Amino acid sequence: MGIRYLPRYNAGERTNHWLIVLFFIGAALSGLAFFHPSLYFLSAFVGGGTWARILHPFMGLAMSLCFLVLFLKLWRHNVMNEADKEWLKHSGEMLRGDKSRMPPAGRYNAGQKQIFWIMVVSLAVLVVTGFMFWQPWFANAFPILLRRIAVVLHAASATVLVLSVIVHVYAAIWVKGTVRAMTRGTVTEGWARQNHALWHREMTGKQ
Amino acid sequence: MSSLQSLDIAKRSATTTPSTQARKTIEVAKLIDVSSCIGCKACQVACMQWNDLRDDVGDNHGTYDNPRDLTPQSWTVMRFSEVEVEKDKLEWLIRKDGCMHCEDPGCLKSCPAPGAIVKYSNGIVDFISEHCVGCGNCVTGCPFDVPRISKVDSKAYKCSLCSDRVGVGLEPACAKACPTGAIRFGTKEDMLDYGAERVTDLKERGYGNAGVYDPQGVGGTHVVYVLQHADKPELYHGLPADPKISPLVSLWKGAAKPLAVAAMIGAAVAGFFHYTRVGPIESKDETPDSEPADKV
């Protein structure tokens, strides 16, 4: 008997996810180029400093619009509940390699939910503040003091977003069998039983 | 403008290593004596002429200011302020506005493009347009609201203090053209000495609060004013009393950024070591020898 697979993301959801990834890479390369002089070389990947300045806002906006689609589909699954608090309490043990005391998780565990909301908030801040100093179209509509506040918040949110993406990507590599959910749309039943027991029960009716 | 002598660059935007230190040049300054200015705008004309700039014909909005504001084509503008410092005693204060050439330039600090803004060792702050990416950060960083971004080419423009003329021993075009001697150019030391003389004269003439405007919040400037009312610089079309680089800009461009870069790289490295030390979480049916089956 072979392995049984459970559907997790349909083709549309996967496409949307990878579009976010592509736009994120574009926005991150062009944005980090301006973040610190040590990263200015990244602008070469998008055609130089001026192209980085031109493309960055469009990349960021495209990423955010795609993320909005993802948000509307998934936010209900990411509402924190009582069981999540228990999960977070034991998350340190899991990081040290001991999963034995982790409470069963639903479709998303508390860590994934946290990352989801951190991404939602940081993207919202990035979009709003980004408009405030978007040259040449919107910046001049805002007073200089507001632009100064906006650039600080933009850089801070960008840092938070990049860090959350690093955690997100690492978690997908760390928990074997996860990447398949976004490349093929399915996960193995064993993966579901082990990492998302409540979701597994929901999907299969089995304990 | 373009960079004249790489040896004479003292500060360079978005550059974390030291600039050339071998050669020192004398610090220069332009002194604008507001009390001697008659508002003829010869300086504006000379600026346009020397720098080959032609602004659009503007409109009258009830004052003598023309154009209304600094633009990519107008690097200096006379600001006319009608004030009554003492009741019923009208004073017409005419300030030549433009880049102040700060010793600690907020534009340079904010600029993300390496070498797009430089400060020469003589104190002149210059935009090196071919490196400018048009992000507008210099506008955000400037305490005097001076740089302007062109709608045509998205480059930032401002007064260069005629760095090309100064580089070959000439005075800036505006100073050359001024018919009353209100604009003078020389070493910063000489200009401060001359300014002090003017202040003494003005005080004798009843301007008790006359003084030289060389704001220390930005490390001093290489354009200094003689003001009749140095205690109230805001009278002169909102000249800031104590300009300094905004703490927001310092936070944004200060220690926070290297720490954030370290955090990002640190997070990725930490992930790698976590994987190699603790190892992945594997599920039971993911044995390497099992054949992948069809989907449900």
B128-146 mean pLDDT: 96
Q: What is the pLDDT of residues B93-123, one digit of tens each?
A: 999 999 999 999 999 999 999 999 999 999 9
Q: Please state whether beta strands B223-227 and B28-33 pair in parallel, antiparallel, or not at all (unpaired).
A: parallel
pLDDT of residue B293: 47
Binned at pLDDT 50, 70 and 90, residue B24 comes out as confident
State percent of chain B over pLDDT 90. 84
> Per-residue pLDDT averaged across B133-149, rounded?
97
Same-domain pairing of B158 and B261: no
Is there a cis peptide before residue B292, judged by omega within 30 degrees of 0? no
Is position A168 annotated as part of the catalytic site?
yes
Q: Is the pLDDT of residue B295 over 50?
A: no
In a domain, B1, yes or no: no
Neighbours of B295 (CB within 10 A): 12
Q: Confirm whether B289 is domain-assigned.
A: no
Looking at the structure, tell me whether residues B202 and B251 fall in a common domain.
no
Mean pLDDT computed over A166-181: 96
Report ipTM (2 d.p.). Answer: 0.91
Q: What pLDDT, in 10s, does the model give residues B238-284?
A: 999 999 999 999 999 988 899 999 999 999 999 999 999 999 999 87
Could you tell me the pLDDT band of residue B290, with boundaries at 50, 70 and 90?
A: very low
Q: How many CB pairs under 8 A join A and B?
A: 155
Interatomic CA distance for residues A32 and A158, integer angstroms: 9
Q: In what order do the strands lie in the sheet with B9-12?
A: B9-12, B117-120, B125-127
Test the A interface: residue of B70, B131, B132, B264 with most A CBs within 10 Å:
B264
Q: Per the structure, how many domains does chain B have?
A: 2
pLDDT at residue A76, as a whole number: 96
Pairwise CB contact (< 8 Å): A147 & B139 = yes
Same domain, B256 and B162: no
| B58 within 8 A of B28, measured Cβ to Cβ | no
Q: Do the domain assignments include residue B288?
A: no
A139 at the B interface (CB within 8 A)?
yes
Q: Are residues B157 and B269 in the same domain?
A: no
Q: Which CATH number is B149's domain given?
A: 3.30.70.20
Would you say residue B296 has pLDDT above 50?
no
Average pLDDT score over chain B:
92
- Supply B148's token pair: 């302007």
Judgement on whether residues B23 and B123 belong to the same structural domain of the protein: yes
In a domain, B144, yes or no: yes
Confidence at B22, pLDDT banded by 50, 70, 90: confident
The answer to whether residue B222 sits within a structural domain is yes
Average pLDDT of the residues of chain A: 95
Beta-carbon contacts of residue A174 (< 8 Å; ≥ 6 apart): B271, B274, B275, B280, B281
Q: By residue range, what is the domain housing residue B46?
A: 6-245
Structure confidence at residue B170 as a pLDDT band (50, 70, 90): very high
- Shared domain for B264 and B182, answered yes or no, is no
Is B291's pLDDT higher than 50? no
Phi, psi of B30 (to 5 degrees): -110, 130
Nearest to B16 among A37, A136, A156 (CB): A37
Q: Are residues B214 and B274 in the same domain?
A: no
Is A53–B134 a contact, with Cβ atoms under 8 angstroms apart?
A: yes
Q: Do B121 and B210 share a domain, yes or no?
A: yes
Give me the mean pLDDT over the A77-101 stretch. Answer: 92
| Residue B287 placed within a domain | no
| B228 and B259 inside one domain | no
* B240 falls within a domain: yes
pLDDT beyond 60 at B60: yes
pLDDT band for position B134 (cuts 50, 70, 90): very high
B286 within a domain of the structure (yes/no): no
Mutation site for A-interface testing, chosen from B144, B283, B289, B296 by largest number of A Cβ within 10 Å? B283
Residues B251 and B109 in one domain: no
Is A153 a residue whose pLDDT tops 90? yes
Say whether both B273 and B186 belong to one domain. Answer: no
* C-alpha to C-alpha distance for A39 and A154, rounded to whole angstroms: 17
Residues B121, B83 share a domain: yes
What secondary structure does DSSP assign to A50-95, as a single string? HHHHHHHHHHHHHHHHHHHHHHHHHGGGG---HHHHHHHHTHHHHH
Whether the bond between A57 and the residue before it is cis, its omega within 30 degrees of 0, is no
Q: What is the mean pLDDT of residues A179-185?
A: 96
Q: Which domains does chain A have, with CATH numbers?
A: 9-204 (1.20.950.20)
Section B149-164 average pLDDT: 95
Position B80 pLDDT exceeds 90: yes
Residues of B in contact with A139 (CB under 8 A): 136, 139, 149
Q: Within the 64-93 window of chain A, which residues sit less than 8 Å (CB to CB) from chain B?
A: none
